[in-house]
Amino acid sequence: MERLLYMYGITLKEEADGKAFSEWMGIDGKAGLEVLDYGWCSAIVSAVEEEEFSEEALEMKTKQMEWVQEKAYLHHEILMSLKDTVTLIPMKFCTLFQNEGSLKKKMDAHENEWMTLLEKLKGKEEWNVKIYNHPDRLRDQVADHHPDIQKKKEEISQMSKGMQYLQSKKLDQSIQQQVALEQQKYVRQLHSEWEALCEDTADKKVWNKNVTGKEADMCWNGAYLMDLEKVETFLKEVTTANEQGEKAGWEVEVTGPWPPYHFSSLSKSEVR
């Protein structure tokens, strides 16, 4: 009897051998995880029921927010556990195969690509960094300390009252422009320093305040693929940046380690 298979990720066969994955429950809470070997790679899967995970069923289920939130959370939690055990190419939510034959066909076709990617990911972790700024605090720093602004202030102080008013308005615009430049400069500088420690980096979407719920502006959102032996240095640099930038309104948030979501571009999300 053919089985509908839900795939969580791909790993190296040598790493999966001997692991008791069958003791881990799959996304439906009924079947345990299985390891299916294909050449040098192994697929980590669990059998699921067509009543819930067939292509037709998913068309309805994915419209039910409660179901999506529950299953997406379980999918993520399984990946979090797997990445602590093996080198993992994480599959996207609801990566399904109609049977073992269709899975084998996919694995055979991409074995070399996945082997190359797994070698790249071995011994590495993904960390995410978000950089926020309170522009009012940075504006005060720029207004009080930037040499060009200070020079302009001195020039304005020598003008007539009428000219002072007009030039002060222009000065405010110049300060705002300088704040934007300082934000870009600061983010580029930090990213360049962290990038030097990484195997790879990925830009993520910068969200507005309606999404973040913060008073500060998000100025940077990035993912970093880090060698394990460099993680401590990386985290120390992030902590230092957060402390040193506080007076100018900077906040640096780091989270991880995550499954290498942003460095596994070969993963697909579709029913086979």
pLDDT tens for residues 225-271?
Answer: 999 999 999 999 999 999 999 888 899 999 999 999 999 875 443 44
pTM of structure: 0.81
Question: Of 86, 103, 122, which residue is a domain's last?
Answer: 122
156 and 33 share a domain? Answer: no
**Residue whose tokens read 């051998």:** 17
Residue 267 falls inside a structural domain: no
Can you tell me the distance from the alpha carbon of 55 to that of 193, in angstroms, rounded to the nearest whole number? Answer: 45
109 and 131 share a domain? Answer: no
118 and 134 share a domain? Answer: no
pLDDT tens for residues 57-94?
Answer: 999 999 999 999 999 999 999 999 999 999 999 999 99
16 and 74 share a domain? Answer: yes
Q: Which strand (E) or helix (H) includes residue 90?
A: strand 89-90
pLDDT tens for residues 196-223?
Answer: 999 999 999 999 988 998 888 899 999 9
Can you tell me the distance from the alpha carbon of 26 to that of 13, in angstroms, rounded to the nearest whole number? Answer: 20
178 and 218 share a domain? Answer: yes
Residue 270 falls inside a structural domain: no
Number of domains in the chain: 2
Residue 110 falls inside a structural domain: yes
pLDDT tens for residues 114-171?
Answer: 999 999 999 999 999 999 998 877 676 665 556 666 666 666 655 666 565 566 556 6
Question: Would you say residue 177 has pLDDT above 90?
Answer: no
Q: Burial-class residue 132 by CB neighbours within 10 Å (0-12, 13-18, 19+).
A: buried
Question: Of 74, 97, 122, which residue is a domain's last?
Answer: 122
Q: Which residue range is the domain that position 101 belongs to? A: 4-122
Residue 64 falls inside a structural domain: yes
Q: What is the pLDDT of residue 129?
A: 97
Q: Using alpha carbons only, what angle is made at residue 117 by residues 113 and 120, rounded to the nearest 5 degrees? A: 145
168 and 102 share a domain? Answer: no
Give CA 261 to chain center in angstroms: 7
183 and 221 share a domain? Answer: yes
Residue 200 falls inside a structural domain: yes
Q: What is the pLDDT of residue 140?
A: 65
177 and 148 share a domain? Answer: yes
Residue 196 falls inside a structural domain: yes
92 and 164 share a domain? Answer: no
98 and 139 share a domain? Answer: no
117 and 159 share a domain? Answer: no
For 267, the 3-state DSSP assignment is coil
Q: What is the pLDDT of residue 269?
A: 39
Question: Of 104, 122, 140, which residue is a domain's last?
Answer: 122
Residue 268 falls inside a structural domain: no
Residue 272 falls inside a structural domain: no
257 and 129 share a domain? Answer: yes
Q: How large a percentage of the chain has pLDDT more than 90?
A: 64
